[in-house]
Amino acid sequence: MTAGTAKDSADRAAKPVAPKRRAKRMGLSGRVAMIAVAAAFFAALAQWVVTPIMAQGEIRYQRQTAVFAGANLLADVARIHVEAGHWDEIGKLVDALSVGMPDGQSAVFDKDWKLIAKDGAVERLPPQRQMAALAADASAVMVEGERYYAARPIVSNGVLYGYAVYSFEPRAFLDIWLWVVALNAIVLSLVLLAIAPLIYRLARHALKPVTDLEKRIRMRDPKDKSKLADSSDDKLLKPLLTAIDGVHDRSEAAMRRALTMAYTDPVTRLPNRLRFMSKLDGTVAGGGVVFLVICDLDRFRQVNVTYGPRVADLALATTAERLRAAASQTLTLPFFFGRIGADQFGVILPGAGREAVDSVIAAMEAAVSGVMVIDEQALRVTARFGAAASPEDAANGGDLLKQAEVALKEAKRQTGTKHAFFDRKLLDKARAQSRLEEEVREGLERGEFVAVYQPKVKLETGELVGAEALARWRRPDGMAVSPGVFIPIAEELGLIAKLGKQVMQDACLAAAGWNRRGIVSSVAVNVSPHQFDDPDFVNSVYRALDESGLPPNLLELEITESAAVADPDRVARTMWPLRNRGVRLAIDDFGTGHSNFAAITRLPFDVFKIDQQFVRALSTDPHAPAIVEMILAMAEALGQETVAEGVETKEQADFLLRRACTIGQGYYYSPPLPAAEFDAFVRSYRPRPADRFAA
């Protein structure tokens, strides 16, 4: 490398590289000028396109006139030759004619339509019949394809000598039209290019106030809240700027309303889940101890079903206000409260200790449980609480919410306390519960749930009068799972309707088979309250009866007392169609809930079932006999049959018989049996009437 080359390289390296210039955008004046030129061009082009189309009628008229003129000229020249005595030279005349029209054709015929002479285009002449009809009408023109024809008689002194036929094929209209349009477009383009600078200068001068305003707006500081209308005194721009200011103000107000709606729950006016989670993530990320408490209302959906959505929303808003007020009165530290689910609330407690969290949960438990009166309806709700802490239990907001939900599920499973704090042991329990839920789902798909049957015996005679179908889960490993475990899971997963339909179908088929063999009369099937939410429930019962052939009066549906009392109108709407079909209805677990006798007497029940806890307590609880006697007396007054569950001893059966109980059911007679074992049991069964006079 030479010294000069090195020096040049160093100079180039030291010279700063000029920044790449951005392409200059077309200004407002240029855009207006371009629009004006384009508008003029397309307006003229539209005129050229439309005008020939509108003039097609005139063009057809001119073509007819031209063919008329050619035919008349040929006939007149031929007539002159006739009068001059040169008819025999008419062929020379035609040959001498010059065809002025494009593809013109001249032809002369004698009076018998024999061709004398033809000159011009080579197209075949039309048939004689068509030419004769054409010559008979002086105003007629014939068009074949693109060719025009006209014919005239050659008459001299009243004597017909022959006929003159003239035709031509005009140029294609589209070719002429395109040529004219192209020519005019070229001329107009040249003219517009020539005057475009003048149009641009005029537009720039006329729009100078607007372009100046545009520059000021582009350079305006976003934080500047002054009005645009105050920046100009132009009489034309002032109203426009005032309107822009108004639109801007309205758009900002709409944006604020949209943000409020996006982050606020419309029912309680609390922060919604989106805003709550954003706050939780930020608080946890800030470090320090952060407690999260979740509040879930128990069976609040029932309030919506019973009283309607309006009362439910008002109750929800009242509950939210009570919870927030309890937290405000208990805590001295700041907290954040929001609605995070349909009937769930969350409280973020940064910097709080375990004792403070215990206190606020206790205060909220007490606040939410008080009676509220809405639209003259007295309502009472209860709640469960789950709590978790960061960073001990989770490192981010999402995981902290998951841990609090695990604690909430534990609180729901507990019978005493209504709240729980997360600990690591709950994770194993939650995972086991999740596995069990998945096994329930898979077991239902594989048909692992079957019906077993417990006999029902008439106490007075000991004869077998029916059976109750009970769901059982036989897992592939042979282990049987209690209904108390899988029924709540099926209800929570929304599978209870499917499980109930399966048990109903099996029970009806089994009972129909028993009756065909003369073994037993009726079968009872439990109905979950969640099955009332299934719109296909009534039809599914009808299908089970129709497919099995079981008479409706041999099917008995059992509804728990708590479900019947909670919403008697809904139960009645569901059950009356079945009752009218002949299906019998029983109220199950009677005496275990807060009985509403007025509601129960409105429902179409045929049977009262005395809960087994009262039957089993007959010999141990001094109050149990009185409760059983009260239930039996009430059933007798209403003329309804009674069934006592949980009969395990002869003494219990004797007591129930003396008190006029109708039917007994329990291990004293038989445990629940699979269908095949039940058949064998019935075949070997011998009636064992209770001793009417036993001590």
Domain boundaries, the chain: 26-213, 232-263, 273-422, 447-684
pLDDT of residue 601: 67
**Joined tokens for residue 525:** 């099937």
301 closest CA partner among 552, 35, 570, 92: 570
Length of the chain: 695
Q: Are 91 and 57 in contact (CB under 8 A)?
A: no
CATH superfamily to which 447-684 belongs: EAL domain (3.20.20.450)
Q: How far apart are CA 88 and CA 396, in angstroms?
A: 118
Three-class SS state of 307? helix
Bridge pairing between strands 419-421 and 449-458: unpaired
Q: How far apart are CA 449 and CA 435, in angstroms?
A: 17
pLDDT digits (tens, 9 = 90+) for 622-674: 888 888 888 888 888 888 899 999 999 888 998 998 888 999 999 999 999 99
Name the one residue in this structure whose structure tokens are 């007396």: 633
Highest mean pLDDT among 66-75, 114-123, 386-395, 567-576: 386-395
CATH among 3.40.50.300, 1.10.10.10, 3.30.70.270, 3.30.470.20 for 273-422: 3.30.70.270
Q: Are 277 and 263 in contact (CB under 8 A)?
A: no
**Region of poorest pLDDT, from 112-121, 344-353, 544-553:** 112-121
Q: How far apart are CA 141 and CA 168, in angstroms?
A: 12
Q: Are 156 and 79 in contact (CB under 8 A)?
A: yes
Q: Does domain 26-213 have CATH number 3.30.450.20?
A: yes
**Region of poorest pLDDT, from 197-206, 212-221, 604-613, 659-668:** 212-221
Mean pLDDT score across all residues of the chain:
81
Q: Are 307 and 334 in contact (CB under 8 A)?
A: no
pLDDT digits (tens, 9 = 90+) for 248-307: 677 777 777 777 778 889 999 999 999 999 999 999 999 899 999 999 998 888 788 778
Residue 165 confidence (pLDDT) above 80: yes
- Could you give the percent of the chain with pLDDT greater than 90? 25
Q: How far apart are CA 240 and CA 222, in angstroms?
A: 20
CA distances from 369 to 318, 343, 384, 651 (A): 12, 15, 11, 43
Residues 16-22 have a mean pLDDT of 51
pLDDT of residue 7: 44
Q: How far apart are CA 127 and CA 386, in angstroms?
A: 104
Q: How far apart are CA 544 and CA 546, in angstroms?
A: 6
Highest mean pLDDT among 19-33, 236-250, 461-475, 588-602: 461-475
Cβ count near 469 (within 10 Å):
26
> What element of type H or E holds 107?
strand 105-110
Q: For 251, how many CA atoms within 13 A lie in the half-sphere containing its CB?
A: 6
Q: Are 345 and 273 in contact (CB under 8 A)?
A: no
Q: Are 71 and 164 in contact (CB under 8 A)?
A: yes
What is the C-alpha R_g of the chain?
A: 50
DSSP line for 268-293: T-SB-HHHHHHHHHHHHHT-S-EEEE
Q: How far apart are CA 41 and CA 38, in angstroms?
A: 5
